[in-house]
Structure 1
Amino acid sequence: MVFTVKDISFQAGTELKISGKVKSDCEGFSINVGHDSDSVALHFNPRFTQCGDCRVIVCNSNNHGGWGDEHREPCFPFQQGEEFKVVITFNNETFYIKLPDGNMMSFPNRFGDDTFNHIEVLGGVKVNSIKVK
């Protein structure tokens, strides 16, 4: 499934809340925040069994085809067939991601930007809501 929101104003200091349900056969999904599908400042990718990984969250950025160094988070609070909520905030240095179990993780804002207008959710999840406030 692909869920894309374009021309949204996600600014530094605001919250992006994404809630949904992980499909029972999900291998992985991703939440991308950036300027378009080729300019992704935050690629948040929980992997159940995907790309040779098992139960790990991989974060990265992609600047027009050039992927950066991966950041791997061993905390994995997602369950197949279960509801989830992820809350993302950021400033021009760091993205902060609140995971479904309340744990926090961070990833550098490699673009240094303070506004993004493209949010995309890909993979084995059903999106229930996306809110920016």
Structure 2
Amino acid sequence: MECGVVATHLKVCPGEAVQVEGKILPGCKGFEVNLGKNCENLVLHFNPRFDCKGDANTIVCNSRRDGVWEDEERDTHFPFEQDSNFKVSFTFDTSEIKVKLEDGHEIPFPNRLGLDVLEYVAVEGDFKIQVLRFA
């Protein structure tokens, strides 16, 4: 069962964070958190995959420029569990996005688009969002 939320016309500036909390649904294949200017221009596509698109227990990060996906980066640190609550924080900077997982693991991802403000956040997939916080 896919769930989702989209927020547009935001103004998340460097040094600020987007925090997402929710429940990973039973039988989850994967979910994603997208940050950027709009759905065609994503500075970060954060995609934990339990069993999806040929990946198992892998976090895939990518960016999208004018609707075209760039090079994927993978992280095999995978603290997610199906049918459990989870939170993740994304700290925005002009050079990178720092992803901080609930267990303290951090994933730095470069700001490939050179954005100076985040205007778009979308959460999709087998993840029931409970909190979307800007700090």
User: Are the equivalent residues in 2 in contact too, given 1:23–1:124 (CA < 8 A)?
Assistant: yes
- 1:34 aligned residue (33, 36, 57): 36
Q: Give how far 1:91 is off.
A: 1.2
Output the CA distance in 2 between the equivalents of 1:64 and 1:29.
22
Amino acid at match of 2:7: V
Output the CA distance in 1 between the equivalents of 2:92 and 2:121.
14
- Matching residue of 1:22: 24
User: Are the equivalent residues in 2 in contact too, given 1:17–1:131 (CA < 8 A)?
Assistant: yes
| 1:132 is aligned to 2:134 | yes
Alignment root-mean-square deviation, CA? 0.8
Q: TM-score, normalised by structure 2?
A: 0.95
- Matching residue of 1:77: 79
Output the CA distance in 1 between the equivalents of 2:86 and 2:4.
17
User: Are the equivalent residues in 2 in contact too, given 1:27–1:49 (CA < 8 A)?
Assistant: yes
Runs of 4+ in 1 over 3 A off after TM superposition: none
- Matching residue of 1:107: 109
- Hey, which of these two has a bigger chunk of strand by percent? 1
Amino acid at match of 1:35: K
Q: Give how far 1:103 is off.
A: 0.8
The alignment of Structure 1 onto Structure 2 pairs a total of residues equal to 133
Q: Give how far 1:90 is off.
A: 2.0
- Matching residue of 1:90: 92
- Matching residue of 2:14: 12
User: Are the equivalent residues in 2 in contact too, given 1:34–1:40 (CA < 8 A)?
Assistant: yes
Q: TM-score, normalised by structure 1?
A: 0.97
